[in-house]
Amino acid sequence: MQKRKLGRSNLEVSALGLGCMGMSFGFGPASDKQEMISVIRSAVERGVTFFDTAEVYGPFTNEELVGEALAPFRGRVAIATKFGFKPDPKGGPQWSGLDSRPEHIKQVAEASLKRLRVDAIDLFYQHRVDLEVPIEDVAGAVKDLIREGKVKHFGLSEAGVRTIRRAHAVQPVAALQSEYSLWWREPEAEVLPTLEELGIGFVPFSPLGKGFLTGKIDESTAFDKSDFRNVVPRFTPEARKANLAFVDMLRRMAERKKATPARIALAWLLAQKPWIVPIPGTRKLERLEENLGAAELHLTPEDLREIESAASKITVQGARYPEHLQKLVGR
């Protein structure tokens, strides 16, 4: 597996990471813990050194899973986790608002260190921008944790460019994590140029469009009642039917390259910038192997022009988030 550096930080990780959220949260019931430990360890065996989790996934159970799975590989892998949500006071699976107060950030760090079974968090993201707390105070709190040796690198998730600049001035931001894929390209307008200027790495989540770009979902697919995609406008049956045009485009290229739509979608992302590290998630070993194959797939300049031309003719149907969640991004 090739390695990539996240911007100008010294954080070097595998070109593709593994998003672990869906193993415990978001896409239907949690999977069997031992099976997921096996998938995570198989990823390490195949060269993956970058794993993504968050306290709110579960809540807490995903960090515990990742901590147990990666315990034998200390020093060989980097784990990213996140702070900034208030867990449900009743202990349920939902969160009850944002909380990026410095004292809360430090409490989260202590708890995450225990669950992850590490001495230091490799990359600590603010999960969503909290307008109640100046970003300078947030960056300052993480700076303190870095000084104390409890955190190695600071990250932001779904932040807007002004917030990125303000945070970076206090404590260098190693990486921004936001949604980016062939069917969600908003970061290209302002975010990617800002990251390039400042030397910040980019970690696209949902690089396969929450599974849609794999070609395994169509308008008749039924999701479990606990699956987050049930409330996403882009995943209504009508929107899915219209958006299959994206999958058809990827399939045509995949046939020519003897690949799969997922591999084409991930290879396209990797070709955008050398400091982009996508984190596709999966619960299945065969899908893990399929995704990791994208790192070996070379798309020529002609291939990329063809994808660009075809994608420019397709209008994606449906918003990527319901309105209450869309308000939390790009701030």
| Domain of residue 118, CATH code | 3.20.20.100
Predicted local confidence at residue 96, as pLDDT: 77
For the chain, how big is the Rg over CA atoms in Å?
A: 19
Domain count along the chain: 1
In a domain, 254, yes or no: no
In a domain, 223, yes or no: no
Query: How many other CB atoms are found less than 10 A from the CB of residue 106?
Result: 17
Closest Cα to residue 49, out of 296, 292, 294? 292
In a domain, 113, yes or no: yes
Query: How many other CB atoms are found less than 10 A from the CB of residue 160?
Result: 16
Predicted local confidence at residue 95, as pLDDT: 75
Contact 63, 112 (CB under 8 A): yes
* DSSP β-bridge partners for residue 181: 184
**CA–CA gap between residue 93 and residue 57 (Å, rounded):** 8
In a domain, 232, yes or no: no
Cα→Cα distances 8→35, 174, 275, 309, 314, Å:
36, 7, 9, 32, 35
Q: pLDDT tens digits for 205-231? A: 999 999 999 999 999 999 999 999 999
In a domain, 149, yes or no: yes
Predicted local confidence at residue 317, as pLDDT: 96
In a domain, 128, yes or no: yes
SS3 category, 157: strand
Q: pLDDT tens digits for 15-27? A: 999 999 999 999 9
Closest Cα to residue 171, out of 163, 179, 180? 163
Print the domain residue range for 49. Answer: 3-210+272-296
Catalytic residue at 57?
Answer: yes
Predicted local confidence at residue 88, as pLDDT: 73
Choosing from 57, 125, 180, 321, the catalytic residue is: 57
Predicted local confidence at residue 81, as pLDDT: 98
In a domain, 67, yes or no: yes
In a domain, 102, yes or no: yes
**CA–CA gap between residue 151 and residue 128 (Å, rounded):** 18
Element (H, E) at 297: none
Helix/strand/coil percentages in the chain, nearest 5: 45, 15, 40
pTM tops 0.95, yes or no: yes
pLDDT beneath 70, residues of the chain:
91-94
CA 32 to chain centroid, in Å, comes to: 22
- DSSP string spanning 66-129? HHHHHGGGTTT-EEEEEE-EEEPTT--SSEEEE---HHHHHHHHHHHHHHHT-SSBSEEEESS-
**CA–CA gap between residue 44 and residue 295 (Å, rounded):** 15
Element (H, E) at 51: strand 50-52
Q: DSSP letter for 16, please.
A: S
